[in-house]
A and B are shown apart, each in its own frame.
Chain A
Amino acid sequence: MTAMKSMNMIEAINSAMDIMLARDPGVVIFGEDVGYFGGVFRATAGLQKKHGKTRVFDTPISECGIVGVSIGMSAYGLRPVPEIQFADYIYPGLDQLVSEAARMRYRSAGDYICPITIRSPFGGGIFGGQTHSQSPESLFTHMCGVKTVIPATPYDAKGLLIAAIEDNDPVVFFEPKRIYNGPFTGYYDRPVEPWSKHAASQVPEDYYRIELGKAAIVRAGGALTILTYGTMVHVAMAVVEEMGVDAEVIDLRTLLPLDIEAIEASVKKTGRCMVVHEATRTSGFGAELAALVQERCFYHLEAPVERVTGFDTPYPHSLEWAYFPGPIRIGAAIDKIMKD
């Protein structure tokens, strides 16, 4: 029986990379401030010292370069795990990701593959302003050939990251930075509870995997299905508990490939479906979820699918908490969907 240890999300992510560096000589980790300093969020702290400068290193400030060299390293046979310091900075690397990494297996009919895991902190709630708060995950589900993974707990973060690194296709691994240090209920004026008080902070010290494409039922219920991921899992849970509504809360964990079976089974059981994400509303991943639910569960639905999202504005610095889809917005949506 493997030893368990209480870890926050950063420690769990660090542990996953540490283990993979030791298990697979092809794993290399790099990014802006990733090497000597250990990353601006400390996710790679100590890894360069332990595994050496040719395995874990700093890069120029060039996301195009970071993603581009990852593809070339993949062609050589390595398994790169680059960090994009903030999801908001990923756009200069998008052509390399969309037109190259995501298409390489297809366009070369398997001659070349890109087993790259791009880690990137995403989401707001940390007073990061519009360039340190975005949730661009829907973009990556729209381009074919990339998997999109978003953990919501330390336990999931480690197991999913190991599975992502071992995956032979490109994976975008978005880390909800608001919950790096503790689960967030959406009540920004209340003290932050550390991960150590949460059951999912108990993480095996050794290697384990959580299969990509499998959702987790965080709370079983019969009245309503809430589909969510990342930080919003915890916010939705807090609201559900507070309102005493018998909701089934599903943490999708992987947006693509999506666990459609879990979604269908739950919605057909509850007859009501609500999607909660922090990202902007229009063309967000919630739109895809709502469409899938109506295609597959229409005759089971008692009410229209509700979407609770961020607003379609850039992330406002001082008005962050008016933007954030917190307890008020979620609560109002639950009231509405339960009335129908």
Chain B
Amino acid sequence: MSTVMEKKINLKLVRNPNENNEPEAEKEVVYDTKGLNLWYGETHALKNINMEIKEKEVTAIIGPSGCGKSTYLKTLNRMVELVPIVKTSGQITYKGKNILDKSFRVEDLRTQVGMVFQKANPFPKSIYENIAYGPKIHGIKNKKILDEIVEKSLRGAFIWDELKDRLNDNAYGLSGGQQQRLCIARCLAVEPNVILMDEPTSALDPKSTLRIEELVQELKKDYAIVIVTHNMQQAARISDKTAFFLNGEIIEYDNTDHIFNNPTDERTGDYISGRFG
């Protein structure tokens, strides 16, 4: 079907058979991208992207600035359409349906696919209202159920103990790391299937970064996570699969340990060893 897939199969034959990758067969494919091209006006930002994203895995996307990794991430929940001059071709199948089809209701997609942004963007409301916002717009009005959702989501983001006594405080009073975890909790409140993270730790200190990374490890038990990161060590630490983007193309997409220890493409190796980017 695609060159990337062929490459992957070939690689698997070469690789050490003792390597632990047996659960792969059971995991369901959440996103299947086929021949995706994307243009910002005249700029060809994504070129023939083919990529499968599976559930209960962390997929990292790395690459130098301007390589299209954030664009690809935003295509997965069609947030990229906020730029009016965007054009796409090809297809992205989410659970069997092509999300790029204009008849696909974008709100339904975004309800099932949460997103965490580079800069924490809580609403200028109370902590409680931040979490309850998602369930509320989807019609959940019962105060008791909302209370439960808020607690569950905050617990899910491991921030309940810190915030349980100040649920009515404005979210803007929190530290940067807390705000980011609050945004993750806000995302969990609508119980999505996938969480997209666009450099979620790039504005955070090392301690907050560590907490978010631990959180990602916990979350992957239930969610498919796609994370764009500038930080290669972070990709190596937390992801199961890594895709290396360069100039709008996928250069290499494989298991993370393979990408980092034994990259097939010379450019991947150069980027990972810090020779460019």
A binds B: no
The residues of A with any CB-CB pair to B shorter than 8 Å are: none
